Structure 1
């Protein structure tokens, strides 16, 4: 695949800088894709073929190769990056993401203040904190892809009640979630305390792709990582199905969150 991409660029009469500029990536990143040190995503290959003017049977051949390459190597290629970078890459490729959060608001729905307060719980330098906040906020751009991406967050009431950053900051955070729902960027359902205990787990997200296998990202204090074996990834949707039976519907969840905002503001 790497050699094919390089040959197609040269056939199109473009140098690395010109092609990278048209695609919106750095020349160094494109160079790594052409030398096999990085796996180009299916979306990137599709864009490059358009830039290089590749059409018809040749385009179909290259796209089939890219998709097969992605299926065979998607996990190993991303294992070499940090978990957060890999997660951001997978979120960009996903067509559906369902997240469960028992204690902390999912990263794709966090305000800057909330994200900063969460990240500051770790002994990071101020510079590293701001870098991680910026990366987390950058990941949220995927929510602008609606209806291409369907994002659904299932929140335990505890995640809405715990006032990270103080009660006013938390009121802003919950209001931020309500706004995301109202503009159609996300679907959010809440499991209220009144249901008592239920089979729960650490925070996790189930990511679905058009042609790639389902992936589950598990986030815990002790360790975080991806599950890609079918016996592991099949369990995510089953747990989500059970939680959905306990959760309020979307409209009732918005009403519930509005009451939580009021509680934070007067507490």
Structure 2
């Protein structure tokens, strides 16, 4: 399967499929109303073919999409093959498709050198992290983040691996109580058969950290890689760029403590915070 499926194109296809479902139309019904073939509509929804402005405009009209949502979707059509990176003020433009991709993934690997990944944050920890960046819409962002976490609780949940630097655990985000509660929550998470949390202790920290990134694997689509940094975040589309971070994830997993030792390490650090 070709790796050359830009994230923007995949996000558009997924969005159009969701909107068609919300309009309660089958592909046959939608294709007939749009004036295209079922095969063409399927290829657009699966990002096997780029949609034209006219096609997307017709779909949105038939699906009853108007106002800001229509404007947002139409504005992205001419950028389907462009690199998808946003600055911090536009980060939410990435979080909606990221959540959608996470819900479709069969496996998710998060590496974080600074903070607990969003998929396993407690409400209090998420609030402390988001408040450090934003002064408004904090609770809305917290709600969005907690909603994303449902992917790890669904029936066909993806295999999830979080690789954390010890610095993530030592940094008292929100205060000692909040970080201790966060670490205890991760210990509980690690009891789930599809969840694996690994720690890289300081004594093994002589490695080149690429910053926060996620590798999303799919059963019927190419891998996606998402990177998040202060200033600019987005999806890596180039096969070479994706392969580099996939290889890095494999190396980091080898450096980290195994699952059992990581849980023991988490318990030790939680106790340190509780005493403090």
TM-score normalised by structure 1 residue count: 0.73
Give the Cα separation in 2 of the matches to 1:202 and 1:89: 23
CA distance in 2, matches of 1:38, 1:158: 37
CA distance, structure 1, for counterparts of residue 43 and residue 170 of structure 2 = 43
Residue 250 of structure 1 pairs with residue 259 of structure 2: yes
Equivalent in 191, 214, 220 of residue 182 of structure 1: 191
Decide whether the 8 Å contact of 1:146 with 1:185 is kept in 2. Answer: no
Deviates more, 1:166-175 or 1:146-155: 146-155
CA contact (8 A) 2:120 2:149 kept: yes
TM-score, with structure 2 as normaliser? 0.71
1:70-119 C-alpha deviation (Å, 9 max, x unpaired): 23359939x69811111111111111110000010000000000000000
1:163 to 172, 177, 180: 172
Secondary structure of the residue aligned to 2:214 is: strand
Q: Give 1:98's match in structure 2, choosing from 109, 112, 121.
A: 109
2:214 & 2:228 partners in 1: Cα distance? 8
Q: Whose RCO is larger (CA < 8 A, sep 6+)?
A: 2
Q: Are the aligned partners of 1:214 and 1:228 in contact in 2 as well (CA < 8 Å)?
A: no
Please tell me whether the aligned partners of residues 143 and 149 of structure 1 are also in contact (alpha carbons under 8 angstroms). yes
Partners of 2:100 and 2:123 in 1: CA distance = 21
Structure 2: 5+ residue stretches without partners: 1-11, 30-36, 52-78, 85-89
Residue equivalent to 2:141: 132
Give me the whole-angstrom Cα distance separating, in 1, the residues matched to 2:20 and 2:159: 18
31, 40, 61: which is aligned to 2:17?
Answer: 40
Q: What does 1:26-37 align with in structure 2 at a 5 Å threshold?
A: none
Contact 1:71/1:212 (CA < 8 Å) preserved in 2? no
Deviations 1:176-211 (A, max 9, x none): 111011133521111011113201111000011122
Which position in structure 2 is the counterpart of 1:84?
95
CA shift, 1:48, in A, is 6.4
Q: How many residues align?
A: 221
Alpha-carbon deviation of 1:66? 2.8
Question: In the superposition, relative to structure 1, how do residues 266 and 214 fare at CA in structure 2: closer, same or farther (>3 Å)?
Answer: same
C-alpha distance in 1 between matches for 2:20 and 2:157: 13
Post-superposition offset of 1:44: 5.3
Q: Secondary structure at the match of 1:251?
A: helix
SS of alignment partner, residue 110 of structure 2:
strand
Structure 1 ranges of 4+ moved more than 2 A? 41-45, 47-50, 61-69, 71-77, 145-148
For 1:14, the equivalent position in structure 2 comes to: none
Q: CA deviation at 1:136?
A: 0.1
Q: Report SS of the residue matched to 1:82.
A: helix
| 2:244 pairs with 1:240 | no
Q: CA deviation at 1:253?
A: 0.5
**CA drift at 1:123:** 3.4
In structure 2, the CA distance between the partners of 1:158 and 1:40, relative to structure 1 (3 Å rule), is same
- Structure 1 vs Structure 2 CA RMSD: 3.2
